[in-house]
């Protein structure tokens, strides 16, 4: 019996439409609810807004002391001393941070001259790149409007805006950690074995670069997100897919050359740096100047600085998506949970 005969006999409800088709049609209707040139206009407006946020009057304010002035001066002395291995401040070795961030500032000095704008350019580019990553990730796994709202919420977050316009390590670290986690999720959701391998290799490369920006935290933070994510989704088979041994080779290949080089130039550097960066943070007994009870007070203050005025729309948008599509992708929520657990754990130390 044809579909027309069924409708004539039993009515329009006689033909059951698969739920997946309904979901796809809802997504298609929602994404095609405006013309293609409206999409381009909105996207262009978003690019202009992000450019304004990150680059407008970037070099106008003077460098604030001590952080910006110190980091900018260390990069300047790389050009003066021609020493691309050991960072110097006032021509004395400074070995409390890796050198990759100073390299980027020094390259900007060579290209554009020594100025506040050149010193802040790597942070601004890292902030812009983080926004692009978040947009592409949300566009692929959530939808067009979710991507737009994600970008708007991110660029209106107070601390994200501030760190993207000052000479400090954190925004470049944020970019590489974001890149590594996006690659992890992309590899997890890829059907092709080749694509999985590429995504995971890029993830390890980004983690290695993050470790060159600010030390072990570049490995620990994304690693802990993945660690908390796996038991939530109960996908322990991902450990085999990730090829941990090959990943260790990639990370060591990126990180080890500079650490070995600087140890040869400055004997005892590794023992000093690993103790200062890892030991004191992992053993609070030796760092008792900051009582742990203050974390209860300062944590809400720190989180409020990371908030955006648009955060109130997140829950409403998520509930609307569930209502319209009837779907709930818990894997992204679990990823965010893993990130939150990791940040809280690290904050304690």
In a domain, 1, yes or no: no
- 261: CB partners within 8 A, 6+ apart: 85
Which pLDDT score, from 0 to 100, does residue 291 have?
47
- Over range 293-322, report the average pLDDT: 48
pLDDT tens by residue, 150-170: 888 888 888 899 999 999 999
- Three-state DSSP class for residue 89: strand
- Count of structural domains, the chain: 1
- Tell which wins on pLDDT, 345 or 44: 44
- Tell which wins on pLDDT, 338 or 129: 129
- Tell which wins on pLDDT, 304 or 163: 163
In a domain, 113, yes or no: yes
Q: Is the pLDDT of residue 304 over 80?
A: no
- Tell which wins on pLDDT, 340 or 204: 204
- Three-state DSSP class for residue 94: coil
Rounded to 10 deg, the angle between the 19-31 and 312-325 helix axes is 130
In a domain, 151, yes or no: yes
Cα separation, 166 vs 158, in Å, equals: 13
Cα separation, 297 vs 19, in Å, equals: 48
In a domain, 5, yes or no: no
- Tell which wins on pLDDT, 11 or 199: 199
Does an H or E element contain 88, and which?
strand 88-89
In a domain, 3, yes or no: no
Cα separation, 90 vs 217, in Å, equals: 27
- Over range 82-99, report the average pLDDT: 91
- Yes or no: say if 257 and 208 are a contact pair by the CB < 8 Å rule: no
pLDDT tens by residue, 229-266: 888 777 777 888 888 999 999 999 999 999 999 999 98
DSSP 3-state percent helix, strand, coil across the chain (nearest 5):
75, 0, 25
User: What pTM value is reported for the model?
Assistant: 0.76
Does an H or E element contain 92, and which?
strand 92-93
Domain containing 103 equals: 20-348
DSSP annotation string for 160-171: HHHHTTSS-SHH
- Tell which wins on pLDDT, 122 or 325: 122
Q: Label residue 141 by pLDDT band (50, 70, 90).
A: confident
Residue in the structure block whose two tokens are 């959530």: 142
Q: Name the DSSP class of 93.
A: E
Instruction: Choose from 223-227, 278-282, 320-324, 343-347 the range with maximum mean pLDDT.
Output: 223-227
pLDDT tens by residue, 99-133: 999 999 999 999 999 999 999 999 999 999 999 99
In a domain, 7, yes or no: no
Q: Is the pLDDT of residue 43 over 70?
A: yes
Which pLDDT score, from 0 to 100, does residue 240 have?
83
> How far is residue 255 from each of residues 262, 277, 299, measured CA to CA in Å?
12, 16, 32
Tokens of 174: 């944020």
Tokens of 327: 């779907």
Does an H or E element contain 247, and which?
helix 244-265
pLDDT tens by residue, 180-233: 999 999 998 888 889 999 999 999 999 999 999 988 889 988 988 888 888 877
Tokens of 221: 């933070």
DSSP annotation string for 35-57: -HHHHHHHHHHHHHHHHHHHHTT
In a domain, 302, yes or no: yes
- Over range 127-146, report the average pLDDT: 89
Which pLDDT score, from 0 to 100, does residue 332 have?
56
pLDDT tens by residue, 268-299: 888 877 776 665 555 554 444 444 444 444 44
List the beta bridge partners of residue 88.
93
């Amino acid at each position: 019996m044809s579909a027309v005969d069924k409708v004539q006999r039993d009515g329009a409800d006689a033909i059951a439409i698969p739920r997946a088709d309904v979901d796809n049609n809802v997504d298609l209707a929602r994404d095609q609810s405006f013309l293609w040139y409206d999409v381009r206009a909105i996207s262009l407006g978003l690019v202009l807004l992000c450019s304004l946020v990150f680059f407008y009057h970037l070099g106008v304010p003077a460098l604030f002391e001590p952080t910006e002035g110190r980091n900018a001066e260390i990069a300047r002395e790389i050009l003066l001393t021609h020493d691309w291995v050991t960072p110097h401040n006032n021509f004395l070795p400074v070995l409390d941070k890796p050198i990759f961030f100073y390299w980027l500032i020094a390259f900007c000095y060579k290209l554009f001259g020594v100025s506040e704008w050149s010193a802040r350019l790597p942070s601004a580019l890292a902030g812009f790149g983080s926004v692009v990553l978040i947009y592409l990730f949300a566009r692929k796994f959530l939808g067009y409007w979710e991507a737009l709202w994600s970008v708007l919420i991110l660029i209106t977050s107070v601390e994200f805006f501030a760190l993207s316009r000052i000479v400090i390590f954190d925004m470049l670290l944020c970019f590489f950690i974001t890149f590594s986690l996006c690659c992890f999720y992309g590899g997890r959701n890829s059907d092709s074995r080749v694509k999985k391998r590429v995504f995971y290799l890029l993830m390890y490369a980004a983690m290695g670069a993050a470790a060159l920006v600010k030390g072990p935290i570049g490995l620990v933070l994304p690693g802990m997100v993945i660690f908390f994510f796996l038991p939530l989704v109960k996908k322990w088979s991902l450990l085999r897919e990730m090829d941990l041994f090959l990943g260790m080779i990639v990370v060591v290949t990126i990180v080890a050359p500079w650490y070995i080089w600087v140890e040869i130039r400055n004997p005892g550097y590794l023992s000093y740096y690993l103790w200062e960066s890892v030991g004191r943070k992992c053993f609070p007994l030796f760092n008792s100047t900051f009582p742990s009870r203050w974390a209860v007070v300062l944590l809400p203050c720190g989180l409020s600085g990371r908030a955006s005025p648009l955060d109130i729309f997140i829950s409403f948008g998520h509930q609307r998506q569930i209502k319209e599509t009837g779907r709930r992708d818990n894997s992204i929520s679990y990823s965010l949970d893993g990130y939150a657990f990791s940040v809280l754990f690290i904050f304690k130390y």
